[in-house]
Amino acid sequence: MKLKNEPNLDQDLATYPVTPTQPRHKKAAVWVSGLETPEPIVDSTDNLSNATQDEGILEPHSKTASLLTTSFNVVSARNHGITSRLDVKSDQPAESDSEREKSQTKRLTAAVHTIIECIGEDLDREGLRDTPERYAKAMLHFTSGYEENTQDLINGAIFKEDCDELVIVRDIHVSSLCEHHLVPFIGKMDIGYIPNGRVLGLSKFARLAEVFSRRLQNQERLTKQVASCIFELLNPQGIAVVMEASHMCMVMRGVEKVGSTTITSCMLGSMRSNGKAREEFLTLLRRG
């Protein structure tokens, strides 16, 4: 099934002076603060490979633009679960949106029912009676990003502007679900970009972060998808995305380090190749 108003990918790609090449992946920088050894602890190459599997990797339009691992799937938001979410099996051949949602809620409710039963709780207890259905609806909301198309989202919000100075949107609240444990990670994201004749309406940066965070994620991939998507949509000179988040799977289980946070970053184009541009971005982020 195709997403509504799905963009013509060939046409979109034709607007970018790029040529297909072999996939290459860059490592996202990852630190966990609050732990005793503040060193990079994750080699996220594998995660990033997952993020870009089956996607077309494009060569940067400029040699100075260093490594660009972006893809049309990021923009059309069709990666990971999008198709399956909209193609949930149903007895009805031509299922409407509301019928599909009802069917998803019903199956999820049954699954949560099983979870609570396995925990050993009493499903007839007043407080738990409606919990399976309530949780099912909440889960569909937490993962509603699978049904959104970033191309539609930014439609009409890209403007021609003779601006080549750094633009930063700071402190975007982000909450997502860790794909390993299905528990939340919560934090903030800072996005900075240097335009190249086109700017995006400021509120759209938060909406883009939301679309990608309302999916099962890991922080490395979320950071990279937001950066890649903006890079592809705007074709800016450079883009930098930094995210800091606290993971409930670390706080509530495992190492149980309350207060630890994980920082990830992804820089593309001149933000990656030009030390001065990167330094300006990081200096502005540190301002109170």
Residues that bind Zn ion (rule: CB under 5 A) add up to a total of 4
Residue nearest to Zn ion (CB): 249
Q: Is residue 249 close enough to count as binding Zn ion by CB under 5 A?
A: yes
Our answer to whether residue 247 is catalytic in this structure is yes
Assess whether 179 carries a catalytic annotation.
yes
CA distance 61 to 57: 12
* 194 three-state secondary structure: strand
- The answer to whether 27 contacts Zn ion (rule: CB under 5 A) is no
Q: Which of residues 118-157 bind Zn ion (CB under 5 A)?
A: none
Tell me the DSSP string of 41-100. Answer: ---THHHHHHHHTTS--B--SSGGG------HHHHHT-TTTHHHHHT---SSSS--HHHH
Q: How far is the CB of 217 from Zn ion (least distance, A)?
A: 10
Q: Which is nearer to Zn ion, 178 or 211 (CB)?
A: 178
| Shortest distance, position 178 Cβ to Zn ion, whole Å | 3
Active site residue 266: no
Rank residues 69 and 246 by Cβ distance to Zn ion and give the closer one.
Answer: 246
Of 55, 59, 181, 244, catalytic: 181
Cα(156)–Cα(180) distance, integer angstroms = 36
DSSP annotation of 37? S
- Residue 168 or residue 186: which is nearer to Zn ion going by CB? 186
What is the per-residue binding string for Zn ion in 163-192, x denoting contact by CB under 5 A? ---------------x-xx-----------
* Catalytic position from the list 95, 178, 229, 237: 178
Task: Look at residue 225 and give its three-state secondary structure.
Answer: helix
Nearer to Zn ion, 163 or 183 (CB): 183
| CA distances (Å), origin 170, targets 115, 153, 192, 214 | 39, 20, 8, 19
Nearer to Zn ion (CB atom), residue 167 or residue 183: 183
Q: Tokens standing for 147?
A: 């049904």
Stretch that binds Zn ion, among 1-9, 224-232, 237-245, 247-255 (CB under 5 A): 247-255
Angle among Cα 145, 150, 151 to the nearest 5 degrees reads: 150
Active-site amino acid positions: 178-181, 219, 247, 249
